[in-house]
């Protein structure tokens, strides 16, 4: 059931409805934490998607917060120099750069 809900949220974002996708991922995160636990790979994947969609809808602080959690979890699981950690780091920097450009 969690996987199906994850796919629905992914497709919702892909169909151009990021706000609704954000709501779906946020609801799913709570259930995933309750059922699978905070550190489960599926829970971390949901956090990653929340980070992406939060960026899409302008919730930059939340995007960085979620992506930082993902980066820490992936560093523990795959090593701090893994491609996944590098991806999370690059996304965090991109979000922060977009924050700076809107302040100018």
Position 85 scores a pLDDT of 97
Gap between the Cα atoms of 74 and 21, Å rounded: 23
Task: Find the length of the chain.
Answer: 104
Enumerate residues 6+ apart whose C-beta is below 8 A from 64: 51, 92, 95, 96
SS3 percent helix, strand, coil of the chain, rounded to 5, is: 85, 0, 15
Enumerate residues 6+ apart whose C-beta is below 8 A from 102: none
Averaged pLDDT in 10-residue chunks for the chain of 104 residues: 96 97 98 97 98 97 97 97 96 89 63
Position 58 scores a pLDDT of 96
- Topology adopted by domain 2-103: 1.25.40
The pTM assigned to this predicted structure is 0.92
């Amino acid at each position: 059931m969690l996987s199906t809900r994850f796919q629905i949220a992914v497709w919702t974002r892909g169909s151009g409805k990021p706000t609704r996708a954000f709501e779906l991922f946020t609801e799913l995160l709570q259930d995933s934490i309750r059922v699978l636990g905070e550190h489960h790979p599926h829970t971390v994947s949901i956090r990653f998607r929340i980070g992406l969609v939060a960026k899409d809808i302008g919730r930059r602080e939340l995007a960085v917060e979620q992506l930082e959690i993902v980066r820490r979890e992936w560093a523990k699981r795959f090593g701090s120099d893994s491609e996944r950690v590098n991806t999370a780091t690059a996304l965090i920097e991109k979000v922060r750069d977009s924050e700076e450009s809107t302040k100018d």
